[in-house]
Structure 1
Amino acid sequence: MNQPNTPTRVRAVLADDERLMREQLRSRLTEVWPDLDIVAEAKNGLEAVELVREHRPDLVFLDIRMPGLTGVDAARQIAQLPEDDSWLVPEIVFITAYDQYAVEAFEQGVADYVLKPAERERLLVTVQRIKKRLAQRQDGASVPDVAEPAGAPLQQLLHKLSGQLNPGAKPNYLQWIQATVGQAIQMIPVEDVLFFISDEKYTRVQTARIEALIRKPIKELVDELDPSLFWQIHRSTLVNARAIDGITRDFRGRQMVGVKSLSEKLEVSRSYTHLFKGM
């Protein structure tokens, strides 16, 4: 069987607040993935986000539990970093001592995990899976894979993991959007919104009947909306999953989401094509 055509040198950032754990994981990775470049190491979540922004790696290893900003919160911020033609949001590998987090990450199919302490054989499985995912991203492919089932968006997984880290906290999702419609302010039920799409200044709120504007950016809405209802399909777009009418491809091969009641199509960026595997 041919091996995936991954980039010659994959670049990674490693984040764990325990120095010995960072050293152990780095050592194990050197054994199983000699071509991997660990370009930076972080001691906390905030540092991890800044290092990802600075180094633009292909891959980031995040300890789930870190002081100040957890690995889950750091992943949520990293997922919102702006992409361009030369860089996509990195693949996420969670480092955890807790099996329940690992199971969530694996079953969702949008992240991977390493259990502490990192064992060589298990790490080999993760490395092969990440190499394959990176090769598919490089080729622009979104081929269904029985070993990597389609799941909810990365943000939905992160919401779930965040809830496990803070079991006493109950999500309080937005129920209404206060938006400008012409010269008037209108209260719009969130469930009526078909999609949100942002430009540099405003976010468009689209329902079946009206188009409105708000100043709240997508990166804030992601944290305030129910992730089981609103899927992020692009760094500037959230779509109501119940409003999706089908998936097509345009002449450039990009996935486009059709929306009920509208002729408009919404582009799916490469980071989110996994949402529609097999469709």
Structure 2
Amino acid sequence: MDGEYTPGRPHPALAGYVLRYLGYREHSRTPVLRRQAAAASCTLIISFGPRLRLHGPAGPLAPASFLAGMHDAPVRTEFVGLQHGVQVDLGPLGAYALLGRPLSDLTNATPQLTELDVPELAGLPGRLAEAPGWRERFALIDDALLRRLDASTARPDPEVAWAWRRLVADGGRVEVHELAAATGWSRRHLLTRFRRQVGLGPKTAARVLRFQRAARLLAPAGVHGPGPSDTASVPVRSIADVAAACGYADHAHLVREFRALAGCTPTEYLVEWG
């Protein structure tokens, strides 16, 4: 397979909302199958090539340009021939602000951009396809997202934003009752507001964040979704080391979580991405 990948930096005003841009052009004469494990982010795929086939919780799909909402299950992607487009990784609170709708409606879903009722996004594939290069394409995305952010009145609750940042900082190793106590909310109220604005409940979000940290430690060069890497701070030598570093009860616990969130064992994951 031949591939070209061009990273882009979102406009500074999008900091905290948009994590990264990645332009891509891939071509393969044989089918390419990829495992997309659960990750603590949402992804926009703005395609100006053939459709990507998806196999996941929403069933087999072949959307054009689409949004992948927060997932707590793996998705398999498949293509043969050409893939050409831009991947935009969004923090869940950024997706909530930009889309102006409950992210819980999009959990484990991959709606096409035309189904989101957001004209700024729906028109991007054609505009990007006509742009002469990646710099111009990234500028068009900046403009569309900045206009959308200015038009949207949705903003996360400060309590939800704090709880999300705390979970991210602790790699998912914090109890829900601690988050609720710190916000002054009941557990039920935190669960309702958090799920609406993040897409997953706080306990499930913590589970995904902990898995994502384990995946990064296991295969630092792999694809685990955007986010800070702490691989240098933990002397990992084995899968058992990863389990201990991330707070899993034992090796078997880590294996169960990889099967649930990546659809494979840690060993199989390491073979694919290590």
Would the TM-score normalized by the shorter structure come out above 0.5? Answer: no
TM-score category by the smaller chain?
Answer: under 0.3
Higher strand share: 1
Q: Greater relative contact order (Cα 8 A, min sep 6): structure 1 or 2? A: 2
TM-score, with length taken from structure 2: 0.27
Higher helix share: 2
Specify the structure having the higher radius of gyration (Cα): 1
